Amino acid sequence: MTLHSNRPFISTKTAEIVQNLRQQVGGADAGMIHKSTVVSSGSEAIDRILPHPGFRRGSLVEWFEEQPGSGRETVSLLSARPALNNGGVIVVIDSSSMFYPPAAAAFGIDLERLIIVRTQDSSERHWAWDQALRCPGVAMVWGWLGQLDSRWFRRFQLSAESSGALGFLLRPARMRGRPTWSDLQLQVNARPGRSSRRFQVELVRCRGQGSALVVDLELNELTDELQEFKSRGHETNSLHLATQLAHPKTRRRSTRA
Amino acid sequence: MPFAEATAISQHGPDNHSPRGARRSNKTSSCEIIFSEHTPATDHHALQQLAEWCEQFSPVVGLDAPDSASGLLLDITGIGSLFQGEEQLAQLVVDRFSDRGYWAHVAVAGTIGAAWAMAHYGIRFDSRRGKPAEPRVISNTETSIALASLPIESLRLSASSIELLHRLGIDQIEQLETLPREGLVARLGDEITLRLDQATGQATEIINAHHIHPEFQSEWVLEHPTSDQEVILQIAEHVCHHLANLLQAEDQGAVQVRCWMETTSQPTKVEIGLFRPTSEAAHLLQLLRMQLERCHLPGPLSRMCLQAIHTARITRKQQRLWDQPGGDPRQLADLVDRLSSRLGPTSVLAARMRAGTLPEDAYALIPLTGPQNSKARLNSAAGKRKPLGPGQRPLQLLHPPQPLQALSVSHGPPIQFSHAGRNHRVVQHWGPERIETAWWHGHCIRRDYYRVECQTGCRFWLFRRLDNQHWFLHGRF
């Protein structure tokens, strides 16, 4: 018996090579990022508004806030925790000497896997970011970062890609909307809560896509998890269709009320 | 420094015609008094730096006391002949200190005790002369005679012994020497007789050298000093390779490395701390190059000396730094070394919880490189502390806390406050959480902390000081 087909024969190995090449090019549109290159945020609700779902290893994520005290540090650090599950350390670039390790420890960050780097000026700060991002033993680089020129930004992106480290850049609100080399831009807005802390996380920008998704979250202080909560009154988004929205083909722009 | 001594200094200001302690405003020369807080740690550090600088006179230089040092001890045994005599050496030390802006009291004697006594109490100094005092050199035969007229304070006795002797009417050393030794020991203990014997040479005493000359060092001496950066880097490469070979031969790795660079003016020193012991020349050279690129030599280089001042045995089996899957310990260690080398050893830190009361004392930051990074130190910094719940403490703690204008009812929680140009109305609060330090820690600090949520949902950590009811912002959640 012979099998005949008009399609050219593609070996399994070739298919794998093609898939890897797609991943390297960053084929997020096709949703073909391999699972091992994506790390979850630890929150299903946040993962749903992210393209992969989760954060792509070797990428940069910018975090903005509406105003101080919005909870950006809390949400971003909780989202950084899962990046340590496969080993490595978290490097905190703390130029203002404001990072408070006991609070991080209370959120389950192992202090023995935390390195704090303090710098005096912007050139030292940028250099330290670059060095940490390019180290293969570093799982996450987290810290506040102000003005950053395009050259350094691009360098950060290449360093992160080369090592597979994830960079969470906490940036001032005035930087939102500026040209960027980051994969994702997220903004955390505070929301009035009751006993539990509440936030709104907005996907401002995703590389290759023009989406603006939001999700309302509540911090479960028993489990340290960020869980979605539905606000009463008008719906600010249609996330009850979250499973459909998560599919890249059905993602559409939504406007925030 | 006690206020009484500070007043005495101001009487002998640079302009001797000015009224005592006054500022001259209408003359060309001015006599201005600068007041600043005495910080013993800063003084101690400065003295340590001078000790290193004095190694140009003697290879053995030490501080005269481990913690409350006020002077330096130099062993010049056999060195006087290199400087045309001990008197010339002593004068040279005085002149070199004077060039650096210090008026040094220098005494040379056959014993540490006698030299200390003469330097502190045996030199007559009048600052109105406008120049440092002449050094004193005492031969071994003159020691007893020279010491006799000195006060008992020159024997380096404890304050309690001095007070007791004064009460007994003993003010000078010659009075002590006339008393029977057995009686002194029986009534006043061993300290006085020991100090007397050390001063007269009947008991031995050694200098605790500030720097013990390391076992592993490599140096390069230039016949013709140079400022050429390329040449300097090549010399650095040579000494790194040589030092690495010495370390490898003994299966040792450097944990702290010091590079001395002598120039035609004054020496320069750079120190490199390492996270893990290393004997790799390339790694040492990389770190040294980073330091050399940032360091400015005051003159052409005449000698470079690279020393491994702390070493540790290199274990053959690579132990994992962090016992988790993934994460290459070697690459992480290299990262830490590079960061420390460029940013400084106090810029790359590990955090450990501590059992401190105040929030700012609840953790310690330990440098990750150098001999301080030992596991013992990292473990000893960890203190037992009641575990915090998530969200009980903010991720951003302000140093120092920022004063706030806050409105509250009587001694209750805040209702409204201003911060960063905005007015915040408090809609929820948790607290007060009273935090106060124990009285035996000195000045008592008492604060009532509140976690507050504002109408926007933003959360802050405020406290009110109980001594003056002032409000402060301490953290942002």
Residue B129 falls within a domain, yes or no? yes
Q: Which of B477, B471, B425 is nearest to B451 (CA)?
A: B477
Q: Which of A194, A223, A217, A203 is nearest to A61 (CA)?
A: A203
- Pick the last residue of a domain from B267, B287, B313: B313
B68 & B160 share domain: yes
Q: Does B2 touch chain A (CB under 8 A)?
A: no
- Pick the last residue of a domain from B146, B175, B200: B200
Residue A235 has pLDDT above 50, yes or no: no
Which helix or strand (DSSP H or E) is residue B351 part of? strand B348-353
CA angle A251, A252, A253 (to 5 degrees): 135
Spatial distance between the Cα atoms of B280 and B287, rounded to a whole number of angstroms: 11
B150 & B118 share domain: yes
Q: Where are the domains of chain A?
A: 33-250
Distance to chain A for B198, nearest Cα, Å: 48
Say yes or no: ipTM exceeds 0.85. Answer: no
Residue B336 falls within a domain, yes or no? no
Cβ contact B325–A116 (<8 Å): no
CATH number reported for the structural domain that contains residue B276 in this entry:
3.30.1490.100
Residue A112: list chain B partners with CB under 8 A.
322, 350
Domain that holds residue B73: 40-200
* Residues of chain B predicted below pLDDT 70: 1-32, 66-67, 211-214, 315-328, 371-387, 439-442
Spatial distance between the Cα atoms of A186 and A168, rounded to a whole number of angstroms: 10
Spatial distance between the Cα atoms of A214 and B308, rounded to a whole number of angstroms: 57
Local confidence band at A243 (pLDDT 50, 70, 90 cut-offs):
very low
Neighbours of B165 (CB within 10 A): 22
Amino acid at A93: I
B179 & B226 share domain: no
Residues 6+ apart with CB under 8 A from A187: A63, A64, A65, A66, A72, A173, A176, A201, A202, A204
Cβ contact B390–A106 (<8 Å): yes
Query: What one-character-per-residue DSSP string does A39-85 give?
Result: E--S-HHHHHHSSSSSEETT-EEEEEESSTTSSHHHHHHHHHGGGGT
By CB atoms closer than 10 A (0-12, 13-18, 19+), residue B211 is: middle
CB B270 within 8 A of CB B295: yes
Peptide bond into B432 cis (omega under 30): yes
Residue A63: list chain B partners with CB under 8 A.
none
Task: Report B:366-395 residues touching A (Cβ under 8 A).
Answer: 368, 387-395
Q: Using one digit for the tens of pLDDT, what is the confidence trace for B249-288? A: 988 999 999 999 998 777 888 989 998 899 999 999 999 9
Residue B462 falls within a domain, yes or no? yes
Spatial distance between the Cα atoms of A252 and B216, rounded to a whole number of angstroms: 67
Partners of B290 in the β-ladder: none
Distance to chain B for A91, nearest Cα, Å: 10
Spatial distance between the Cα atoms of B117 and B120, rounded to a whole number of angstroms: 5
B151 & B252 share domain: no
Spatial distance between the Cα atoms of B452 and B431, rounded to a whole number of angstroms: 9
CB B268 within 8 A of CB B203: no
Spatial distance between the Cα atoms of A77 and A168, rounded to a whole number of angstroms: 9
Local confidence band at A52 (pLDDT 50, 70, 90 cut-offs):
confident
Residue B33 falls within a domain, yes or no? no
The predicted pLDDT at position A134 comes to 95
Residue A100 has pLDDT above 80, yes or no: yes
Interface probe with B: pick from A73, A89, A100, most Cβ of B within 10 Å: A100
B290 & B430 share domain: no
The structural domain count of chain B equals 4
Query: What one-character-per-residue DSSP string does B147-172 give?
Result: HHTSBGGGG---HHHHHHHHHTT--B
Q: In the sheet where B268-278 sits, what is the strand order?
A: B216-226, B301-313, B252-263, B268-278
B294 & B356 share domain: no
Cβ contact A101–B390 (<8 Å): no
Cβ contact A111–B353 (<8 Å): yes
Residue B423 falls within a domain, yes or no? yes
Q: What is the DSSP letter of B209?
A: B
Judging by DSSP bridges, how do beta strands B252-263 and B268-278 pair with one another? antiparallel
B353 & B300 share domain: no
Reported in sequence order, the residue ranges of A66-222 that DSSP labels E, i.e. its strands, are 89-93, 114-117, 138-144, 166-170, 184-191, 198-206, 213-220
B67 & B175 share domain: yes
The predicted pLDDT at position A158 comes to 96
Q: Does B168 touch chain A (CB under 8 A)?
A: no
Residue B321 falls within a domain, yes or no? no
B128 & B264 share domain: no
Q: What is the mean pLDDT of residues A208-215?
A: 72
Nearest by CB to B343, which of A128, A189, A221?
A: A128
Residue B324 falls within a domain, yes or no? no
B178 & B231 share domain: no
Residues 6+ apart with CB under 8 A from B28: none
Question: Where are the alpha helices (H) located in A63-149, listed in sequence order?
Answer: 72-80, 101-106, 122-133
CA angle A61, A199, B456 (to 5 degrees): 120
CB A114 within 8 A of CB A63: no
Q: Using one digit for the tens of pLDDT, what is the confidence trace for B130-155? A: 778 889 999 988 898 999 999 999 99
Local confidence band at A236 (pLDDT 50, 70, 90 cut-offs):
very low
Structure-model confidence comparison of residues A153 and B392, the more confident one: A153
B249 & B357 share domain: no
Residue B342: list chain A partners with CB under 8 A.
124, 127
Q: How many CA atoms lie within 13 A of B91 on its CB side?
A: 7
Q: Which of B352, B371, B369 is nearest to B361 (CA)?
A: B352
Cβ contact B454–A77 (<8 Å): no
Residue B334 falls within a domain, yes or no? no
Local confidence band at A240 (pLDDT 50, 70, 90 cut-offs):
very low
Q: In terms of CA atoms, which chain A residue is nearest residue B333?
A: A137
The predicted pLDDT at position B453 comes to 94
Two tokens, residue B472: 């402060």
For domain A33-250, give the CATH number.
Answer: 3.40.50.300
